[in-house]
Amino acid sequence: MNAQDVVVEFLRSEILIGPQERPGPDDALISGGILDSFSIMALLDHLEHVLGVKIARNQLTKKDFETLRSIELFCGTKKAGG
């Protein structure tokens, strides 16, 4: 499962988007009101658990979690040891 699918699964179970809803890869998640500071922290824990990445909270920027594509790129750097 890739990071985009993991995020969509999280959104469906925790944010309660509908089963047919799926944000596009470049849709705004934070500025679009889908994710807030609390849901971002829960998403980080979920990504770490499901994808096995380690994300230091002091490394986060809004742009890294604004879209599905940016989350996938960010997680890819963490899997590669970044």
Number of folded domains that form the chain: 1
H-helix or E-strand spanning residue 46: helix 37-51
10 occurs within a structural domain: yes
In a domain, residue 31? The reply is: yes
Owning domain of residue 36: 3-14+26-79
Phi/psi region, residue 21 (left: phi>0; alpha: psi -120 to 50; beta: rest), is beta
Residue 29: predicted pLDDT: 95
Give the model's pLDDT for residue 15.
87
Full-model pTM: 0.87
CA nearest neighbour of 34 among 47, 49, 16? 16
pLDDT, averaged per 10 consecutive residues of the chain (82 residues), comes to 93 85 94 93 94 88 94 86 57
33: left (phi over 0), alpha (psi -120 to 50) or beta: left
Give the three-class secondary structure for 79: helix
pLDDT of amino acid 77: 86
CATH of the domain at 68: 1.10.1200.10
Both tokens assigned to 3: 């990071």
